[in-house]
Amino acid sequence: MNKMVGVETIMKVHPQPLGKRVAYWSVTLLLVIAIALSGIGQLMQFGGNIDLVKNLGYPLYVLTILGIWKVLGAVALVVPGLPRLKEWVHAGIFFLMTGAACSHALANDYGDYGFNLILPLSYAALNMLSWALRPSNRRLS
């Protein structure tokens, strides 16, 4: 005689404290706005984007590639769900920003007061903070 016994699994939900939620969304929205505006500026080739790329020795089409990925990444960070994609976006932003700082340093293109190093590294730090503060429903495990 086969007898099936059901097993009930109870998941404990630990809501994130309000202060941590506010910190996460403040940091993440600041990051999203910065990355999105940067991407849009690159797509439209605003400001000194062309000079920056030329000073580093990269071809101009890099602006289009980076702009598209930045805008898509910014959108992915605010869309509900998709925790694996969000992990990839955070990794991509980190590599993009640290790579930008390294590119400027190796090309001796520090900008005024080291701005060309400080800005991308501050975006990388903002990105790491957003990743560290993310709620449990945005984590893979």
Predicted confidence (pLDDT) per residue in 16-29, tens digit: 788 888 999 999 99
Question: Tokens representing 8?
Answer: 């009930």
Confidence band of 140 (pLDDT split at 50, 70, 90)? confident
Give the pLDDT of residue 106. Answer: 95
Look at residue 130 and tell me whether its pLDDT is greater than 90: yes
Look at residue 111 and tell me whether its pLDDT is greater than 60: yes
Give the pLDDT of residue 128. Answer: 97
Look at residue 56 and tell me whether its pLDDT is greater than 70: yes
Q: What is the pTM of this model?
A: 0.83
φ, ψ of residue 59 in degrees (nearest 5): -75, 155
Per-residue pLDDT tens for 68-108? 999 999 999 999 989 999 999 999 999 999 999 999 999 99
Look at residue 3 and tell me whether its pLDDT is greater than 60: yes
Lowest mean pLDDT among 60-64, 101-105, 113-117, 129-133: 113-117
SS3 string, 3-25, reads CCCCCCCCCCCCCCCHHHHHHHH
Domain parsing of the chain, residue ranges? 18-76+83-132
Task: With beta carbons less than 8 A apart as the criterion, state whether 126 and 33 touch.
Answer: no
Confidence band of 112 (pLDDT split at 50, 70, 90)? confident
